[in-house]
Amino acid sequence: MGDETVLDNVLETVLQFLNSARDRCTASLVCRSWHRAESATRTSVTVRNLLAASQARVARRFPNARHILLKGCPRFADFNLLPSGWAAAAFRPWAAAFASAVFPVLGSLFLMHITVTDDDLDLVSRSLPASFRDLSLLLCDSFSSAAQVPPPLLL
Amino acid sequence: MAAATDDAGDSNEMIRVVSSDGEHFEMPEAAANLSLVLRHMIEDDCADAAGIPLAVVAAKPLAKIVDYCTKHAAKSSGLTIEEAEELKRFDAEFIEVDTDMLYDLLVAADFMGVEGLSKLAVQRTADLIKGKTPEQNRETFGIVNDFTPEEEEEICKENEWAFQITKPPSRLC
C-alpha cells in the first residue's frame, strides 16, 4: 500500500468526525487531498437553491450523500412576489438524476419549496437505491395524491 | 511459544515485538491482545522469543503503543468510577503529542488494529481541525495549498451558495 493510499484512508477516517458545516467547508479548502476526502465523507448535503447547483455537480462532489435537502424558491415566494411558474421545471433534471441512481447510497430526500409534479415523483420513484427510506415534501406544490409512489415512500 | 515472563505476574507471558527499525519491545500477553494483528499472531503460535516483526511501525510510535496497551490491559474489566476516570486522564495525556507522532499513531494503530487507540487518535486529530481556518489547518499539519487561486475561489463560492451541512432531515421537521 502506497503512502498516498494510507494518507487518504487516514484522512477519510478523521474527516468522518467533522459534523459542523463550517468545519466541513474549511476542510474542503485546505488542499486537493483534503477536498477529496471531505467530498467522500459528506453524508448530509443541503442544496440551498436547486437552481444554484447542477445535480451532476452535486453527485460528482458528494457521491456518498445519504441525506439530501433540496430547497427551491426562496422564502419570499410565499408572499406571491414571484411570477407563477417560476422555476416550475427546475426539479425535473433532479428527478431524472435520482431516477438514474446517481446517489447510490441515498437514504432520505427532503424537498422544500419546490414545484413537484406527479410525473416528477413517478420519475424519482423509478430507480431509487435499496437504502432509500424516506421522502419528505415541505411547502411543495403541484403534485396530487394520484402520484405513483411505491409503498416504502410514505408521503 | 513466547518466552516465559520474568516479572509482572507469574502466569502472564510476555510478548515480544520488533519495530521496523529493529528495536525490541515487550508487553504482557493481555496487552498484546488489544491489537487484532498481534492477537492473531499469538493465536497462530507466531509469537516466539525472536519477537513479532512489525514491518511498518517504527520504534517511536511502537513504544507509545506498547505503553497504551499495557495500561489499558491492566485495567480492562470491572473498572471503578475512579479507575475509569484515571484511564481517561491517561488517554488525554497520552495523546498530547505533536502532529508527526499523531500521524504515526494513526497509521500504526490502524495497521495493528488497536481499536481504542485508533479512536483516540482520530478524535484528537478531528479536534485539532475543528474551528480553524483552512490556512491554520495547513500550518498545523504542514500542508501545502495545491489549489490554483481560481479553483480555490470556485470551491469557496460553491460552499457559500450551494451547499450546507444539515442534520438528517427528520430533525428538520
**Same domain flag for A54 and A34:** no
The predicted structure's pLDDT at residue B171:
41
Per-residue pLDDT in tens (0 to 9) along chain B, 173 residues: 444 444 444 446 899 999 999 999 999 999 999 999 999 999 888 778 788 999 889 999 999 999 999 999 887 677 788 888 999 999 999 999 999 999 999 999 999 999 999 999 999 999 999 999 999 999 999 999 999 999 999 998 888 766 665 444 444 43
B91: Cβ–Cβ under 8 A, 6 or more apart, which residues?
B120
**Same domain flag for A87 and A99:** yes
- Which domains does chain B possess? 14-144 (3.30.710.10)
The predicted structure's pLDDT at residue B48:
80
Is pLDDT larger for residue B116 or for residue A9? B116
The predicted structure's pLDDT at residue A154:
47
For residues A20-36, give the mean pLDDT: 92
Residue type, B131: G
Do A53 and B172 lie within an 8 Å CB cutoff? no
Min Cα–Cα distance to chain A from B161, Å: 7
Most confident of A67-76, A131-140, A144-153, B105-114: B105-114
Helices (H), ranges, chain A: 3-15, 21-28, 32-41, 55-61, 92-99, 118-126
| Three cell numbers written together for A47 | 442544496
Is pLDDT larger for residue A108 or for residue A80? A108
**Same domain flag for A23 and A47:** no
Is the four-CA dihedral B82, B88, B92, B95 of positive or negative sign? positive
**Same domain flag for A98 and A34:** no
Do B126 and A42 lie within an 8 Å CB cutoff? no
Q: Contact A90/A50 with Cβ under 8 angstroms?
A: yes
The predicted structure's pLDDT at residue B90:
95
The predicted structure's pLDDT at residue B12:
66
Q: What is the chain B residue with the closest CA to A22? A: B131
Q: Contact A46/A71 with Cβ under 8 angstroms?
A: yes
Residues in B whose CB is inside 8 Å of some CB of A read 103, 106-107, 110, 118, 122-123, 125-126, 129-134, 137-138, 143-147, 152, 155-156, 158-159, 161-170, 172-173
What's the domain count of chain A? 2
Min Cα–Cα distance to chain A from B29, Å: 28
The predicted structure's pLDDT at residue B26:
94
- Which domain does A7 fall in, by range? 1-42
Is pLDDT larger for residue B34 or for residue A52? B34
**Same domain flag for A106 and A73:** yes
Kindly state the percentage of chain A with pLDDT values over 90: 30
Q: Please identify which residue in the block is written with the cell numbers 495547513.
A: B138
**Same domain flag for A81 and A153:** yes
A28 to chain B: which residues are within 8 Å by CB? 155, 159
**Same domain flag for A109 and A87:** yes
For residues A38-48, give the mean pLDDT: 90
**Same domain flag for A37 and A48:** no
Task: Give the domain CATH number at A12.
Answer: 1.20.1280.50
Find the helix or strand (DSSP H, E) in which A109 lies.
strand A108-112
Min Cα–Cα distance to chain B from A84, Å: 24
Residue type, B154: E
Q: What is the chain B residue with the closest CA to A29? A: B134
What's the mean pLDDT when you consider all of chain A? 82
- Among the partner residues B133, B164, B173, nearest to A46 by beta-carbon distance: B164
Interatomic CA distance for residues A135 and A121, integer angstroms: 10
| Three cell numbers written together for B7 | 516479572
**Same domain flag for A138 and A80:** yes
**Same domain flag for A113 and A90:** yes
**Same domain flag for A98 and A140:** yes
The predicted structure's pLDDT at residue B164:
61
**Same domain flag for A67 and A55:** yes
Is pLDDT larger for residue A74 or for residue B65? B65
